Amino acid sequence: KWLEQNRYITGYRAEIDRRRIGLGVFAFVRVDAERNAGGAAKLLEDAIRRLPEVTACHYISGAGTFELQVMATDLDAFSLFATETLLNLPNVKDIHTSFSLGEVKAGAALPLTHLQRPTAGRRGRRAGRAS
């Protein structure tokens, strides 16, 4: 309730078992852009946002520009998506793919202990858990 009252919660959604709905391939795709500035980067960002196969996208440090999480029904579908869609996005120089071989931890709650306020009489200690 505290998180809702303080507007930290932006929405609710169901967690769906991707395998049960036929999404057997989960890939991490690093996208290398030709240029990382101005309009070129904006065009690529906008194109990535419109792809339903991309479930998450992050700017990354180090090699590459973006790290995508991509889901597909099978390897053939992923291959088609990579070669006919990703490689043809504006400003894409190259892509590098790693496939998930199994999830160790997914969909975990965010760590919230830093949001807890100490209560009176408990200086230096954190009050109970946020819910």
Tell me which DSSP letter residue 104 carries: S
Is residue 32 within 8 A of residue 97, CB to CB? The reply is: no
pTM comes to: 0.79
pLDDT tens digit string along 82-98? Answer: 999 999 999 999 999 99
Tell me which DSSP letter residue 101 carries: S
List the alpha helices (DSSP H) in the chain. 2-5, 38-49, 75-84
Give pLDDT, residue 121.
56
Across the range 123-130, mean pLDDT stands at 51
